[in-house]
Amino acid sequence: MKSVLPVLWCCIGISAAAQSPLTIEQLWSLGRVSAEAISADRKHLIYSVAYTDMKAGRTERNLYSVPLEGGAAVQLTTTEGTESNVVVTPSGKMGYLYNGHFWEADWDGKNARQITSGEGNIIAWKFSPDGKYVAFAREVKVDQTWQDRYPDLTDAKAYIADDLMYRHWDKWEDGRYNHVFIASYYQGELTDIRDIMAGEPYECPQRPFGSAEDFIFTADAAAIIYVCKKKTGKQYAVSTNTSLYYYEIAKQKTIELTPNLMGYDVAPAISPNGLWLAWLSMARDGYESDKNNIIIRDLYGKGQWNITRNWDETIESFRWGSDNKKIYFIAPRYGTLQLFEISLPASLDGFAPTSFRQVTSGRHDIVSMLDQVGDYMVAVKTDMNRAAEAVRIHLPTGTILPITHVNDAAYAQIKPSRIDEVWIKTTDNKKMLTYVIYPPDFDASKKYPALLYCQGGPQSPITQFYSFRWNFQLMAAHGYVVIAPSRRGMPGFGVAWNEQISGDWGGQAMQDYLSAVDSIVKWPFIDAKRVGAIGASFGGYSVYFLAGIHQGRFKTFIAHNGVFNLKSMYNSTEEIWFTNHDLGGPWWNTPPPPSYETSDPMKHVNNWNTPMLLTAGQRDYRIPYVQSLEAFQVLQIKGIKSRLIVFPDEGHWILKPHNSILWQREFYRWLEETL
């Protein structure tokens, strides 16, 4: 044994010496993994990987197969474009979507053939349990537009609105809606295709975040259950009340299943025995970040139960266990996303557990679950030093085993960052978790500049996520210590902590940020004179607000798509439910909601004196880019060093590869100039 250890440490030293800090180009060279399906023989994971071609400025996604218990991965598709939404076809083959059409192939990718024809534009696809039907979603024209009224005006460009919601996130309303279709299916042929929402100006899947989980077949293939918010105009703009609808295939009749539930009802899932329907439900209309509960309903009786009403946290996602006796769910937990288990009794009458078994633990995020295979849950995992990879979770013990190794070779060349968990005392004597991320070559004898990271949401958690833009590992690789506090408003620390921020944007959450900075800049290796604050969305708002109250703590700021003027935000955002709930309603009410006085960054611009970089997407309709223009104008008139970058073809997020690289380069150029 004595001769083994020196050799081992020698090898480790050589490996570490070969590593270097992460670069922007390395970040964008990583494969982006998505778990797609389990093969028909239940022995292989089918997953997709997207790689970015920087020269072409586009991303290519292909399908791969790997044994669940380990082995070499095999690439299944090589065609230009994106393959996704993999399913097992009734004939036992691999089905998938490609270029808006449904395809079928052998599980090795061979003998691929296109099943659908015509218009295509399919965005989600599912088979009924008996294989006799398919349900799919695509966009259809419902409303008449001015182009229909005046077909001779071929060069005219205009949007005409008579009501809200005339635009949403990054898209103007154009009379087209996502609808669910059903068709009979036999040996690759579709017949009797019909739109189960024909003529309705409503959507399923919901935009912009809806997906294939928005509709399902019942176990007996007698019906489709789908998610929809059947409201239009101003009613749609102020409401989060989606419902579950039951479409009976034989009678072609639709009934609403959840008329008495007022918030978001999403992600319906049928139990393996076909008797129970479960879904995620929020209680309050107009509150998009309300606690998500798991509701179970007896599909063929009258019982309905909220099985997580005693859980002091929100639920991210869930799925049934294969034995009908368990439900697994993912939830925030102290700066991570973990997998939990609920054991269901024979009778659900009065069932409301007070304890939930935590399956996984550790500094990681369990991002999503794909399927249960035996005693294992196939899932996707990330941490702040590693992009997403597929894993197997041993459900009895919580042991996590890797399945995919897409980025192992890349990370072998990249020095990871040290990450510490620090608990900060807040101004109201509570404890706040703060992640501190260090440069990969950290030396405690040196002084480092620091960045306060302000999270968006406002009720989104800081967990062990791996972002391809707000990437902590990349920030640290540029020589900055990153301070990431789980300030008030973030889930993972109980419902009260999560909800406190509503109506108090400029209050305790801002004090939480300052508490974290004031505590950590006292550390001997932090250069207290070189601290910046950065953030997007609500994080951008936080930057604007801190710029007026920081009293010299920060040397520079970076704000992306932030809220600057609460009145103009209310007047121009599309999802009015958000500003109604978080700001208290219209600013012209008598008396006006207190938020417009206590939480408006505009109230503090006389104190602005610090350089600021502002970036925005011109197609951002949630926080219109004019918010950034207003802030830039104030900075310029006051003579403060500032820079504005607007991306005309981006929305709330900067997604196009070349735009994203430009954003990253300008981000670090600004920090080099000002910090």
Asked whether the CA dihedral 217, 366, 288, 578 is positive or negative, the reply is negative
Amino acid at 232: T
Is beta strand 94-98 parallel, antiparallel or unpaired with respect to 83-88? antiparallel
Measured CA to CA, the distance from residue 279 to residue 301 in angstroms comes to: 17
Q: Which one of the listed residues 34, 243, 271, 537 is annotated catalytic?
A: 537
Measured CA to CA, the distance from residue 547 to residue 14 in angstroms comes to: 45
DSSP 8-state class, residue 285: T
Q: What is the DSSP string of 195-223?
A: ETTTT-S--SSPTTT--GGGEEE-TTSSE
Cα first-last separation, the chain: 50
DSSP 8-state class, residue 540: H
Q: Kindly state the tokens that stand for 49.
A: 């990987």
Q: Kindly state the tokens that stand for 294.
A: 């798991």
CB 384 within 8 A of CB 477: no
Measured CA to CA, the distance from residue 188 to residue 406 in angstroms comes to: 33
Query: Cis (ω within 30 of 0) for the bond into 612?
Result: no
All residues at 6 or more sequence positions from 14 whose CB lies less than 8 Å from its CB, including other chains: none
DSSP 8-state class, residue 71: -
From the list 134, 286, 323, the residue with the least C-alpha distance to 212 is 134
Residue 455, burial from CB neighbour count under 10 angstroms (0-12, 13-18, 19+): buried
Where does 599-656 have alpha helices with state H? 626-637
298 is catalytic: no
Token pair 């009458």 is found at 349
537 is catalytic: yes
620 is catalytic: yes
All residues at 6 or more sequence positions from 374 whose CB lies less than 8 Å from its CB, including other chains: none
Q: Which one of the listed residues 128, 281, 652, 660 is annotated catalytic?
A: 652
Rounded to whole angstroms, the maximal C-alpha distance in the chain is 87
Q: Which one of the listed residues 620, 628, 642, 660 is annotated catalytic?
A: 620
Measured CA to CA, the distance from residue 339 to residue 399 in angstroms comes to: 11
> Helix, strand, coil: what percent of the chain each, to 5?
20, 35, 45
Q: Kindly state the tokens that stand for 495.
A: 């419902």
Residue 86, burial from CB neighbour count under 10 angstroms (0-12, 13-18, 19+): buried
C-alpha dist (Å) from residue 355 to 259, 312, 394, 463: 30, 10, 20, 23
Rg of the chain in Å (alpha carbons): 26
Q: Give the active site residues.
A: 537, 620, 652
